Amino acid sequence: MKKATKKEIEAIKSALLERYPEAVTELSYTNLYELVVAVALSAQCTDKRVNLITPALFDAYPTPAHLARADIEEVKRLIQSCSFFNNKAINLVKMAQRVVDVYGGEIPLDEKELTTLAGVGQKTAHVVLIEYTEANLMAVDTHVFRVSHRLGLSDDATAVATEATLVKKFKTDLHRLHQGLVLFGRYICTAKNPKCDTECFLKAYCKSTEGFKPR
């Protein structure tokens, strides 16, 4: 597959920033704690589904201290319509317990410290920091991975490697580019039946319509 040229990369970057100048997550949250929980739940689950789950969850456990004392079976019941709810419930309670025990009940706004929390890997930490602090970071989900490969921005086999490539090629405005790539992949450059002829504003740079997935 052909790779995007430097000129094409700059054009793609400009087009994404123009189309999505103020793009933010579609997850619903009111504070950092709620954002971390919502992002953790969104792994292999749609934002729309997460937004249906979290109101009752946050009503029952409004703070890390409440969640740290939660009965895991009750947490499972509240999030059971989410994929991998068993593991996610266990991780949410463990996450809250560490936040209380180690960080005094406050979610740490540091990548390394965030990734010490149960269920919070690099991608989740980056998404949180991108959304909450507008950090110049990139995070690669299935949408970003697919779009990056279709546009010839990356030919990497994994999400982590793709992230590093995008950081190297885009350099700046990464937080806005991440959000823009997510929205572009979610609504236009979809896995099945991408809207190539009707809505795609990046069609001139497309190298493939294959449904790329990270290994």
Active site residues: 123, 141
CA 114 to each of CA 42, 107, 167, 171: distance values in angstroms, whole numbers, following the listed order: 16, 8, 20, 23
Q: How far apart are CA 22 and CA 75, in angstroms?
A: 34
Q: How far apart are CA 48 and CA 36, in angstroms?
A: 16
Burial class (CB in 10 A: 0-12, 13-18, 19+), 21: exposed
Helices (H), 42-189: 47-60, 64-68, 72-78, 85-103, 111-114, 122-133, 142-150, 159-170, 174-187
Nearest to 151 by CA among 215, 209, 192: 209
Neighbour count for residue 3 (Cβ, 10 Å)? 13
CA 27 to each of CA 37, 51, 129: distance values in angstroms, whole numbers, following the listed order: 10, 6, 14
The three-class DSSP label of residue 146 is helix
Tokens of 145: 């991975």
